[in-house]
Amino acid sequence: MLNFNWGDRTYLMGVLNVTPDSFSDGGEFNQPDAALNQALALAAAGAHIIDVGGQSTRPGAEQISETEELDRVLSVIKIVRNKIDLPISVDTTRASVAEAAVNAGADIINDISGGNFDLSMFSTVARLNVPIVLMHIRGNPETMQQMTDYQDVMAEICNFLSKQITVAITAGIEREKIIIDPGIGFAKNLSQNLEIFRRLNELKELKCPILIGPSRKSFIGKILNQPDPKGRIWGTAAACCAAIFNGADILRVHDVEQMRDVSIVADAIWRKS
Active-site annotation, residues? 217, 252
**CA 182 to chain CA mean position, Å:** 10
β-bridge partners, 212 = 251
Task: Report the distance separating Cα 138 and Cα 147, nearest Å.
Answer: 6
What distances in angstroms separate CA 80 from CA 42, 130, 250, one per listed residue? 11, 18, 21
Neighbours of 143 (CB within 10 A): 12
178-181 sheet: strands from edge to edge: 178-181, 132-135, 108-111, 88-91, 49-53, 11-17, 250-253, 211-212
Contact residues for 148 (Cβ-Cβ < 8 A; gap 6+): 138, 187, 188, 189, 192
